[in-house]
Structure 1
Amino acid sequence: MKPSKIPHVAFLIFFHFIFLNYFHFPSSHCANLGSETDKFALLAFKSKVVDDPFGALSTWNDSVDFCQWHGVTCSLRHRRVVALDLRAQNLTGTISPFIANLTFLRLINLQQNKFYGKIPPETGRLFRLRSIRFSLNMLQGEIPANITHCSELRILDLVTNKLEGNIPSELGNLFKLVGLGLTGNNYTGSIPQSLSNLSFLQQLSLSENRLSGNIPSELGLLKQLNMFQVSANSLTGSIPIQLFNISSMDYFAVTENKLVGEIPHYVGFTLPNIRVLLLGSNRFTGEIPPSISNASKLEKLDFSDNLMAGSIPEDLGKLKNLIRLNFARNNLGTGKGNDLRFLDSLVNCTFLEVVSLSRNSLSGVLPNSIANFSSHLIYLYMSANRISGTIPTGVGNLKNLILIAMEVNLLTGSIPTSVGYLLKLQVLSLFGNKISGEIPSSLGNLIFLTEVDLQGNSIRGSIPSALGNCLQLQKLDLSDNNLSGTIPREVIGLSSFVLLDLSRNHLSGPIPLEVGRLKGIQQLDLSENKLSGEIPSSLASCVGLEYLNFSDNSFQGPIHSGFSSLKGLQDLDLSRNNFSGKIPMFLNTFRFLQKLNLSFNNLEGEVPSEGVFKNGRAVSIIGNNKLCGGSPELHLHSCRSRGSRKLWQHSTFKIVISAVLLPCLLSTCFIVFVFYQRRKRRRRSKALVNSSREDKYLKISYAELLKATEGFSSANLIGIGGYGYVYKGILGTEETNVAVKVLDLQQRGASKSFIAECEALRSIRHRNLVKIITSCSSIDTRGNEFKALVYEFMPNGSLENWLNQKEDEQNQRPKLNLMQRLSIAIDVANVLEYLHHHCHTSIVHCDLKPSNVLLDNEMVAHVGDFGLSRLLHDNSPDQTSTSRVRGSIGYVAPEYGALGEVSTHGDVYSFGILLLEMFTGKRPTDEMFEEGLSLHKYAKMGLPDQVAEIIDPAILEEALEIQAEIVTELQPNLRAKFHEIQVSILRVGILCSEELPRDRMKIQDAIMELQEAQKMRQAIKL
């Protein structure tokens, strides 16, 4: 039915009620009229569905009786719709308010669809309704307050939508409610105390929202509660003791909050029916309750990520149904060397699948009893403790093991050959122990193996070629051992590798040609070995490389031209070898290269001066005595051309002649020059004298710019600045896209801004600066003075436009993700570091803000608009100028307003504010910042515990989506990792924007911290 027909439906329904109230008809006629009302209501519902991929509503037409329509159930007596069940049909659309006309409806189930928009308030008129199941959709807005009129409601399931606001306290009036599910939304505020009125409530699910405050103790009155789930919120305080006394409790989850206190020692007695007890990622203290072993129905027990100490109960074996045991990341252990005795009892837990004890202080010898653990065991985490002894040979009995993580302990002995019997094993992590012996060749049997990390042990012998059978191996780290022999071609030829680290061993021989098969590898480290020969040309196929380290070997020959294909390199280290020849020019074209070490080789010739070579801090070339030229920061002597050498070495006669004639020639030129200058000055007008500083930029005419911008058309206007307007233009026969900044010379200071920008940009070059192409100082068609600057065009516009999109904008851009924001911030910081510390004369930008950060096709940031810039002529980064400066409100440093002092510290302040704006989504001029509150203070108050409340919601949503996609057992505690990244970034912004200049972070340190945050985010792999 089309939407235009809906008013007709309403009209019929209106007459339906009129007839029932004022006329007397036989009951059959009333039933027919009611049936027609239901039919029209269903068609109205269908009209709001915009996509039906499975054809679930295809039968909803006049050819089939509406009671036979898919998903519709009618009562036998009245033929009225009593149930609408369209779960998992992938329907897209909104929920029609005409659903309220299905007055006999008792159940509505729209789970697992794509309904969006708000829940119709009219739903509150369905007084017979007993079950609402809208979970796994995209519904928005708040729960309608009048839904409490549905007094017969037993189930309200709104799990995993986008609902927001506070949880209505009116829900406490739904006295017959048995199940309330609000998990996975955006609810804020506290848990309503009124929910304690729901005396029949059995299931309460409020996890994964943004709830705060304490858990109401009144909830302990819900004596029929068997599920209590409030995980992943920001709840504080302690767990009300009354909740631990509800004997019917089956599922209890409060993980990932900020709850404190001790768990009652008697909890195992008062929760006799508990099956799942999840208390991880809080701040609980005290010991693990010894009574826990009396909760004999327990299947999942999680106390991880807390501050619990002491010993682990030794009779956990009583928990015969236990499947998952997680005590990781606490302070468990007594220091007496007998902390592992409880493992013996776990042999009785025959359904055990996960044991996680990592990052505690457990000490003692690893008992042989682990070899008798349940054959169902999948994950065994015991890393970062003080566990000693050897790995039991019987570990091979655990046939279903997928992961063994025992890294950073005190384990000795060798890796048992029996590990090769674990045919399902995917991860073997034993790094940071004292393991010796050889790598068993039986590991080649493990065809599902994806990660082997044995770094930092004392393993000897050769690398078994049998590892080449592990065709899914992505990470192999054998660094820091005593391995010898050659690198097996079967191993280095595994195309599945993402990381291969064989560094700090005693490997010898050449690199096998099979290295070219590593097309997807990102990190390859063969440093500190005894490898020799030339680098094989096949390495050119490893186009995914980001980190490559061949340092401290005996490689020789030139740096192969095949390296030119490795354009994704970020870190390249070829130091301490015997490489010879010239440094390849293609290295200066690697736009991602941040660190290059070529030191202590036999390289010669001219050093490139572009790309990474422009940054002396990023390049090391010491120990190559035949190199010359390059960036001044490298402090090398200049290169003489071959022709010059021949002249001075073989043409003595010409030297003598030149010595005689040169002074005469110079004298003559000087006289001619003085005469010409005097004549030129007499002819030049006064206006030209005043504009002499601009002459070097007179390269383009007004007419050309007029044509390029289509007469400075408003359609080409892309920005308005403090001193003029910016137009998009197409310049010259090559049709180059440019941005033309036309100065409004009526504004005071515009001419000075023009000169300042020309002066600042004339001699600086950096990949993250907006490139000035030319300038124009001329007369327009009306005879008025005209000045303009022509820049490289940035197709993705300004950072300002990306950060502050209006919700009603059409063709709205996607929100910047975390990595994009980090990359942009690092780009901007690199510009400041270059301007402040690497220019011949230090430059202070003075007006750093989002509108002056422009983005190219690849979202690389470029800083522009140097109209307020200042040059610090003694090249001291701390020098100040007392000339008055103007900046942009909110971004300008406080000291500029007081004294007008210009310094590099002012730019650092602006960068800090810019960074905070990028990651909080709040402008420094937001209306909320009043009465002493500023963006700086707002961010500072959020660290470290309230980050989720101040971070840009788009970043928070991205983090949650990634966590949902990653198997958390393989990358545990992702939420904590994202939290650490966000805290690190905001901390940089806060330290850079301190009020006093002396308290601000150095820009070099800011870059390092942001790059560390970038690495942490890159380590989280989908």
Structure 2
Amino acid sequence: MLRHILTMVTSRFFLLQTRLLLVYYCCIASFAIVVAVQTSNVSTDDQSALLSLKASITSEGQNMIFTNWSTNNICNWAGVTCGASHRRVKVLDLSYFGLSGTIPAELGNLSFLVDLDFTNNSFQGPLPQELARLHRLKFISFGFNNFGGTIPSWFGSLSKLQTLDLYGNQFSGSMPAAIFNLSALQVIDLKNNHLSGSIPAEIGNLTLLKAVYLDNNKFEEIPNEIGYLDQVENFLNGRIPDNICQHLPNIQKLYFAHNKFDGPLPSTLWQCKQLLVLSLEGNNFTGSIHKNIGNLTRIRKIYLGNNNLTGTIPHGVGDLPNLEILSLMGNNLNGLVPSTVFNMSTIRVISITSNNLSGSFPTNIGLGFPNIQEFYASSNKLSGVIPKSISNASKLTGLDLGDELCQLKNLGDLLLQGNQLSGSIPSCLGDLNAALRSLSLGSNLLTSTIPSTLWRLTYILHLDLSSNYLSGLLSKELGYLKVVTDIYLSNNHFSGSIPNSIGSLTDLVILNLANNSLEGSIPVTFGECPSLEFLDLSKNNLSGVIPKSLEALSHLRFLNLSINRLQGEIPEGGAFGHLSYESFFSNGELCGSPHLQVPLCPNSTSSTPLCQNRCIITILKYIIPGIPLAILIVAFIYMEIDIA
């Protein structure tokens, strides 16, 4: 009985174990089938397409495709992204891989593809018709490759496409109208190709369009239905549609620069009230600037230069509260510059060069331009004086007043120090001799040499060219500045010697030539500048002795000859009596009084009386107090002798 029971239990346990193993193997088999199905979906459809692309690649810069595209799981391949659920290729991004080759027709089998990016490679040949089957595509970029021929019309069948980038290729011919049936399209970038003809009127159908880049092609006509055009720099001619703002109610940037447009500016252009940038420079526009330009209250940049515009600058320009750049150069504008223009607190750049503008600058020009960086007004008919307030424009980096600057015969003070002005000093400044009394160009970025004409300013009182990058020799004509009282030429790159003609500047009070590369000796003629109070020749390569003639400068209060290669005896007379070590340090071979921390001069007659005086003082200091003691000792000795 017991044996029967054990047999039944063992049989049932074996049967249960068998069933559990069967269930386990069924689960394993099911999982394998699922994996096999998923792998089959990828390998049979997408993998073959990618392998065809791999076979079409002739070379690659990063060696990613040839080495990485070899495993079974294509979702781990470089540049490939698969969907999380269907495990199909969703993104193929091979941008900047340095690939060369052609695009195979099999790429059209990537039916789940949403994003295709081949930017910045060297693919060539035609784009295959089979790519039209990629109906899920939202982004496609073949920018910066070597594709040629006409742009395929099958792009028009990609109904979900939002971005089409074909820039930087060799496409030619006209734009296919089918592209403009893509109602979801937001960006078209076809710049830097060889496209020509007219821009299709169907572009007006693209109501979601945000940007069109067509620059550097050969388009000839722009339609009224332009829609939204962010940049166009082609060879467009004709006229801009007068009703452009009706088609562009929300346009923010309008670039039509460097084309061949002519005729007047659109009369309704000033109704584009969302406009931030208006660039129409480099065309053949005629007529005047509309007086309602002041309606563009959001605009920041206006480029109308190099056209044939006439009339005056509207007063409304000065009422634009956000304007940063105003370029009107190279036109035929006339009349006065509105005073409001000189009070725009946001303006950074103004260019009104090469017009027929007249009038003078307001006296508060520097105060009304707190942010001005560049101001160009040459080749006009401006007159009057440049106000001293221009020096308050502390951010000024460019100033061009051209010939007008030198025609301001009554200009008394030109103060432009502490800016970032570059270039050379205008040679015509020498023509302002009659009135110019102060010329301050210090602390800028000026280069080249001092023009010889500058020494014609024989009535100049104050000359400051310090802290620039000026070079060359100091001309002996410096002596022509007969009435100058202060000259600042420090912190430049001047070389050569200090001219002896410096001695003719009898009214000179301040001379600063520090931190240059001057060499040679200190002119003896400095002693002939009786008014000199401040003389700084430090940080040069001056050599020789310090002239004793400097002792005659009775008004000298400051002298700095440090960091040179001077030698010999330091004079002791005149102002030298109150000078200190700081005036002479780092010369090496100077000698003189010990209080100047230089060695005593050997066999120096001038130093002997001083030494003798000090010796006498030292002797008296220690001997005189001992005389009474000596007398007492002698007296005591005599007393002892007497007692004895």
Q: Indicate the TM-score class for this superposition, using the shorter chain for normalisation.
A: 0.5 to 0.7
Could you report, residue by residue, the CA deviation over 1:661-719 in whole angstroms, capped at 9, with x for unpaired residues? xxxxxxxxxxxxxxxxxxxxxxxxxxxxxxxxxxxxxxxxxxxxxxxxxxxxxxxxxxx
> How has the CA–CA distance of structure 1 residues 312 and 195 changed in structure 2, closer, same or farther, with 3 Å as cutoff?
same
User: Aligned residue for 1:30?
Assistant: 37
> How has the CA–CA distance of structure 1 residues 149 and 404 changed in structure 2, closer, same or farther, with 3 Å as cutoff?
same
User: Aligned residue for 1:253?
Assistant: 231
Match of 2:98 among 93, 115, 134: 115
* CA distance in 2 between partners of 1:216 and 1:49 (Å): 38
Map 1:198-237; keep pairs closer than 5 Å.
Answer: 198-236=182-220
* CA distance in 1 between partners of 2:242 and 2:326 (Å): 22
* CA distance in 2 between partners of 1:389 and 1:507 (Å): 37
Letter in 1 for 2:384: G
Map 1:256-271; keep pairs closer than 5 Å.
Answer: 256-257=234-235, 259-271=236-248
User: Aligned residue for 2:271?
Assistant: 294
Residue 386 (structure 1) shift: 0.8
Q: Does the 8 A contact of 2:126 with 2:148 survive in 1?
A: yes
Could you report, residue by residue, the CA deviation over 1:284-308 in whole angstroms, capped at 9, with x for unpaired residues? 2221122111111111111212221
Match of 1:132 among 103, 112, 116: 116
Q: Does the 8 A contact of 2:239 with 2:263 survive in 1?
A: yes
Letter in 1 for 2:417: G
* CA distance in 2 between partners of 1:467 and 1:32 (Å): 76
- In the alignment, does 2:168 pair up with 1:194? no
* CA distance in 1 between partners of 2:58 and 2:123 (Å): 18
- In the alignment, does 2:225 pair up with 1:242? yes
Letter in 1 for 2:443: N
User: Aligned residue for 1:467?
Assistant: 441
Match of 1:430 among 387, 393, 401: 401
- Once the two structures are overlaid, the 10-residue window that deviates more, 212-221 or 348-357, is 212-221
Could you report, residue by residue, the CA deviation over 1:358-382 in whole angstroms, capped at 9, with x for unpaired residues? 011111112221122242x222111
* CA distance in 2 between partners of 1:60 and 1:477 (Å): 65
Q: Does the 8 A contact of 2:333 with 2:355 survive in 1?
A: yes
Q: Secondary structure at the match of 1:132?
A: strand
User: Aligned residue for 1:345?
Assistant: 316
* CA distance in 1 between partners of 2:417 and 2:383 (Å): 22
Letter in 2 for 1:232: N
Q: Does the 8 A contact of 1:60 with 1:66 survive in 2?
A: no
Q: Secondary structure at the match of 2:403?
A: coil
> How has the CA–CA distance of structure 1 residues 464 and 120 changed in structure 2, closer, same or farther, with 3 Å as cutoff?
farther
Q: Does the 8 A contact of 1:456 with 1:479 survive in 2?
A: no
* CA distance in 2 between partners of 1:540 and 1:167 (Å): 68
- Once the two structures are overlaid, the 10-residue window that deviates more, 24-33 or 474-483, is 474-483
* CA distance in 2 between partners of 1:160 and 1:439 (Å): 58
Q: Secondary structure at the match of 1:187?
A: strand
User: Aligned residue for 2:339?
Assistant: 368
Residue 462 (structure 1) shift: 6.3
Could you report, residue by residue, the CA deviation over 1:778-808 in whole angstroms, capped at 9, with x for unpaired residues? xxxxxxxxxxxxxxxxxxxxxxxxxxxxxxx
User: Aligned residue for 1:154?
Assistant: 138
Map 1:892-907; keep pairs closer than 5 Å.
Answer: none
User: Aligned residue for 1:327?
Assistant: 304
Map 1:177-576; keep pairs closer than 5 Å.
Answer: 177-236=161-220, 238-243=221-226, 246=227, 249=228, 251-257=229-235, 259-334=236-311, 339-340=312-313, 342=314, 344-375=315-346, 377-396=347-366, 397-433=368-404, 434-438=407-411, 440=413, 442-446=415-419, 448-451=420-423, 459-460=432-433, 466-470=440-444, 472-474=445-447, 484-485=457-458, 491=465, 494-495=468-469, 508=480, 517=493
Scaled by the length of structure 2, the TM-score of the pair is 0.59
Q: Does the 8 A contact of 2:386 with 2:414 survive in 1?
A: no
Letter in 2 for 1:277: L
Identity %: 27
> How has the CA–CA distance of structure 1 residues 391 and 482 changed in structure 2, closer, same or farther, with 3 Å as cutoff?
farther
Letter in 2 for 1:386: N
> How has the CA–CA distance of structure 1 residues 516 and 180 changed in structure 2, closer, same or farther, with 3 Å as cutoff?
same
> How has the CA–CA distance of structure 1 residues 136 and 462 changed in structure 2, closer, same or farther, with 3 Å as cutoff?
farther
Residue 160 (structure 1) shift: 3.8
> How has the CA–CA distance of structure 1 residues 313 and 118 changed in structure 2, closer, same or farther, with 3 Å as cutoff?
farther
> How has the CA–CA distance of structure 1 residues 176 and 239 changed in structure 2, closer, same or farther, with 3 Å as cutoff?
same
Q: Does the 8 A contact of 2:245 with 2:271 survive in 1?
A: yes
Map 1:699-848; keep pairs closer than 5 Å.
Answer: none
> How has the CA–CA distance of structure 1 residues 401 and 110 changed in structure 2, closer, same or farther, with 3 Å as cutoff?
farther
Residue 438 (structure 1) shift: 4.3
Q: Does the 8 A contact of 1:208 with 1:231 survive in 2?
A: yes
Q: Does the 8 A contact of 1:484 with 1:507 survive in 2?
A: no
User: Aligned residue for 1:635?
Assistant: none
Which consecutive unaligned segments of at least 5 residues does structure 1 have? 1-22, 81-103, 520-537, 542-1022
Letter in 2 for 1:467: L
Residue 427 (structure 1) shift: 1.2
* CA distance in 2 between partners of 1:29 and 1:77 (Å): 15
Residue 233 (structure 1) shift: 1.7
Could you report, residue by residue, the CA deviation over 1:892-936 in whole angstroms, capped at 9, with x for unpaired residues? xxxxxxxxxxxxxxxxxxxxxxxxxxxxxxxxxxxxxxxxxxxxx
Greater radius of gyration (CA): 2
Q: Does the 8 A contact of 2:383 with 2:408 survive in 1?
A: yes
* CA distance in 2 between partners of 1:482 and 1:540 (Å): 19
Which consecutive unaligned segments of at least 5 residues does structure 2 have? 1-29, 483-487, 496-515, 520-644
Residue 309 (structure 1) shift: 1.4
Q: Secondary structure at the match of 2:242?
A: coil
> How has the CA–CA distance of structure 1 residues 290 and 491 changed in structure 2, closer, same or farther, with 3 Å as cutoff?
same
Letter in 2 for 1:75: G
Residue 68 (structure 1) shift: 8.0
User: Aligned residue for 1:166?
Assistant: 150
Could you say what the CA RMSD is over the residues aligned between the two structures, in angstroms? 4.7
Match of 2:85 among 77, 80, 84: 77
Aligned length: 451
Q: Does the 8 A contact of 1:148 with 1:171 survive in 2?
A: yes
RCO comparison, higher one (Cα < 8 Å, 6+): 2
Q: Secondary structure at the match of 1:128?
A: coil
* CA distance in 2 between partners of 1:477 and 1:172 (Å): 66
Residue 320 (structure 1) shift: 1.8
Scaled by the length of structure 1, the TM-score of the pair is 0.39
User: Aligned residue for 1:835?
Assistant: none
Q: Does the 8 A contact of 1:430 with 1:455 survive in 2?
A: no
Q: Does the 8 A contact of 2:448 with 2:469 survive in 1?
A: no
Q: Does the 8 A contact of 2:62 with 2:98 survive in 1?
A: no
Q: Does the 8 A contact of 1:264 with 1:289 survive in 2?
A: yes
Q: Secondary structure at the match of 1:26?
A: helix
* CA distance in 1 between partners of 2:256 and 2:457 (Å): 48
* CA distance in 2 between partners of 1:496 and 1:217 (Å): 59
> How has the CA–CA distance of structure 1 residues 72 and 123 changed in structure 2, closer, same or farther, with 3 Å as cutoff?
closer
Q: Does the 8 A contact of 1:486 with 1:508 survive in 2?
A: no
* CA distance in 2 between partners of 1:453 and 1:422 (Å): 19
